[in-house]
Amino acid sequence: MAFQELKERQAFVWGNAPFEEVAVSLADVHDAIVTAVGPADGKAWLEVACGTGELSQRAARAGADVVGVDFAAVLVETAKRQAAEAGLDIDFRVGDAENLEFEDASFDVVTSTFGAMFAPDQTAAARELGRVTKPGGTLAMANWTPGGGVGSMFRLFASFQPPPPEGAGAPLDWGRPERVEELLGGAFDLSIQEHATTLEADSAEAYWDEFAPGFGPLKTLLENSDEARRQEVHDAFIEYLQSNFGTPAGGISHKREYLLVRGTRR
């Protein structure tokens, strides 16, 4: 299967940290997705690349019959645990956004928050999003923009890592309206808007202390680096935050721009 080794590595990386600690900072994005979808009571809802399931919980509380799929088994187990603790009945499964196990036109609502954008075969992922959505159904996605605060952060991390394999799609391309139209416009009538969510911290060091242990790609990078390299990554990240998002009081206000994509299946 194309990019199978890459996807296995990604699954390990994203599951190599308690992502639920990072997902807390995305609460307003999850709320924006739920608002974009509209009334959900009784609808069949699929969350693709669900992570630790925070959006799925919101959908379930809104009355939807929810299935959540992610390729990282560790994240799926966390999603199951958190849903059970919240008293919510959600069907979480391990699965691949490029090859979903569901029949055609199975869901009234399909969503993905900074998830499907990381599938290396973008055409396959887009095809699957369209395939499992019922005619007249709703697709809602949040995708980081390449020019925003997360896009620049990803480029910083990429400077410390080997390049992806040839042919793998660049995740941040999902944050370009023209690419979204190219990928999804044949199946959906689309509405695309730019939004932003901001993460505040008392200092760059406080941001690092909260973010580094919970963000799998950064945690894995640090674990695979020697002490000198870890210090280099730390110092570069602190400088990046202070230079671009520092406040007069010494804090950090990290503005993170994203595209909110809403589609109606033709």
pLDDT, one tens digit per residue, over 127-176 is 999 999 999 999 999 999 999 999 999 999 999 998 888 889 999 999 99
pLDDT of residue 164: 86
Instruction: Return the domain boundaries, the chain.
Output: 4-147+164-198+260-265
Q: Residue 3: pLDDT band by 50, 70, 90 thresholds?
A: confident
Strand 107-113 and strand 133-144: the pairing is parallel
Considering only CA atoms, which of 119, 3, 2 is closest in space to residue 69?
A: 119
Q: Residue 2: pLDDT band by 50, 70, 90 thresholds?
A: low
Answer CATH for 4-147+164-198+260-265 from 3.40.50.150, 3.90.1860.10, 1.10.10.10, 3.40.50.2300:
3.40.50.150
Question: What element of type H or E holds 20?
Answer: helix 20-23
Query: What does the pLDDT average to over 65-76?
Result: 97
The upper half-sphere exposure of residue 46, i.e. CA atoms within 13 Å in the direction of its Cβ, equals 30
SS3 call for 115: coil
pLDDT of residue 175: 98
In contact, 258 and 148? CB cutoff 8 Å? yes
Count of Cβ atoms closer than 10 Å to residue 97 Cβ: 25
Work out the percent of the chain whose per-residue pLDDT is above 70: 99
pLDDT digits (tens, 9 = 90+) for 94-120: 999 999 999 999 999 999 999 999 999
pLDDT digits (tens, 9 = 90+) for 229-256: 999 999 999 999 999 999 999 999 999 9
Query: What does the pLDDT average to over 83-87?
Result: 98
pLDDT above 60: residue 1: no
pLDDT digits (tens, 9 = 90+) for 169-228: 999 999 999 999 999 999 999 999 999 999 999 999 999 999 999 999 999 999 999 999
Burial degree of 103 (CB within 10 A; 0-12, 13-18, 19+): exposed
Quick check: pTM over 0.85?
yes
